[in-house]
A = this chain, B = another copy of it.
Amino acid sequence: MAYGLRLAERGRYTTSPNPRVGCVLVRDGEIVGEGFHARAGGPHAEVHALRAAGERARGATAYVTLEPCSHVGRTPACAPQLVEAGVARVVTAMNDPNPQVAGRGHAILREAGVEVTEAIAPAAARALNPGFVSRMERGRPWVTVKLAQSLDGRSALASGESQWITGEAARRDVQFLRARQCAVLSGIDTVLTDSARLNVRLSADELGIAGEVRQPARVVLDSGLRLPPFAAIFDAPGAVWIYTRDANEGVHHEALLKREATLIEAPTAPGLGLDLDFILSDLARREINEVLVEAGAKLAGAFVAAGLCDELVVYQAPVLLGHQARPALALPEPSALVDASRWTLVDETRLGEDLRLTLRPAR
């Protein structure tokens, strides 16, 4: 199963909106077939493994990182195909997180006389697909908030100068972080001020994938529809989705539609701009599993303050910008230290001169 999990990870930049899944077929202690899901619309991991095994699948044990699907989607269901191929036993790392179909894959296998061992490594399997699991279980994407800051927690000088605080290695790492996402989200001010394009600028070779680079959707929160159709974001590949208060309001509305931007109306939350809960639910409906927030202090802080940040990735440069520089995060102050927003550091990694800190909300 450990090998299956590693295989699944190979789909990290490409399976969206599908989950990353790996499958290993073993007969008489020998691997007779293996596969991972690479792209939505393409064969599932089980099918790759069955094809590789051919007749040797008969009597084999299939190790699958996710309960095999029971429903016909863009491709035929996997559970019946495992039965048909004569697989004797199926071991899964986790159950299907979709509450509407969970258990059906396992049931189909059992009814056909296949021995089933369920969910032997749920933590590792869930970690492969935090976004898919989140979308299925919570109806919203997995939200990662990225910050690039100085040692003293600043992201720009008071003048606004911010390019660059972190070094090349850190900025390259952000590209890999982006490439995993289904969507990259920012606010209109950042998009305008930084001429942000928010796309993945790595090649398929650099990502180690076959085929074309999948661009995450670029999501802009723009309540007043100020994004001009000549913004830099349109010069880079990938869909642009704009959440706004009134899609017919702004002067650029027609021109934006011509640039193939998707305009989506969102309600406003009192004093907080657009309603983030609504937007996350809507992104889930649009099959966004994982979303990266690369925004200014205010919007990034709003995600954190609302408890909507599942992971904080902080690129910290060993530089001091001084107490008058702009904070990387605007966050209301807690009334006492015990009420402060506490996190758990899950990883620290050096990237050139900088440090990447990955944190999750403390329980």
Residue among B328, B330, B355 making CB contact with A345, cutoff 8 Å: B355
Whole-angstrom distance from the CB of A212 to the nearest CB of chain B? 36
Point out the residues of chain B lying under 8 angstroms from A337, CB to CB.
Answer: 157, 161-165, 321
- For the side of the interface on A, what is the size category? 35 or more
Point out the residues of chain B lying under 8 angstroms from A329, CB to CB.
Answer: 152, 320, 322-323
Residue among B321, B327, B353 making CB contact with A344, cutoff 8 Å: B353
Query: Are the C-beta atoms of A152 and B350 separated by less than 8 Å?
Result: no
Point out the residues of chain B lying under 8 angstroms from A327, CB to CB.
Answer: 152-153, 323
Query: Are the C-beta atoms of A319 and B342 separated by less than 8 Å?
Result: yes
Bound complex: CA A357 to CA B345 (Å): 14
- Report if A340-B323 is in contact (Cβ < 8 Å); known contacts: A314-B151, A350-B348: no
Residue among B334, B345, B355 making CB contact with A157, cutoff 8 Å: B334
- In the complex, A236 has a CB within 8 A of chain B: no
- Report if A355-B353 is in contact (Cβ < 8 Å); known contacts: A152-B153, A323-B330: no
Bound complex: CA A319 to CA B362 (Å): 9
Query: Are the C-beta atoms of A318 and B359 separated by less than 8 Å?
Result: yes
Point out the residues of chain B lying under 8 angstroms from A318, CB to CB.
Answer: 342-345, 357, 359, 362
Whole-angstrom distance from the CB of A188 to the nearest CB of chain B? 20
Residue among B151, B348, B357 making CB contact with A343, cutoff 8 Å: B151
Point out the residues of chain B lying under 8 angstroms from A323, CB to CB.
Answer: 297, 301, 327, 329-331, 333
Q: List 27 A-B contacts (CB under 8 A).
A: A150-B340, A151-B153, A151-B314, A152-B329, A153-B327, A157-B333, A157-B334, A157-B336, A161-B336, A161-B337, A162-B337, A319-B340, A319-B343, A320-B340, A320-B341, A320-B343, A321-B331, A321-B337, A322-B330, A322-B331, A322-B332, A323-B329, A323-B331, A323-B333, A324-B333, A325-B333, A348-B350
Known A152-B153, A320-B331; further 11 A-B contacts with Cβ < 8 A: A150-B153, A153-B153, A165-B337, A318-B359, A320-B340, A321-B333, A321-B337, A322-B330, A325-B333, A345-B353, A348-B348
7 tightest A-B contacts by CB? A153-B153, A322-B333, A322-B331, A152-B153, A318-B343, A323-B327, A320-B341
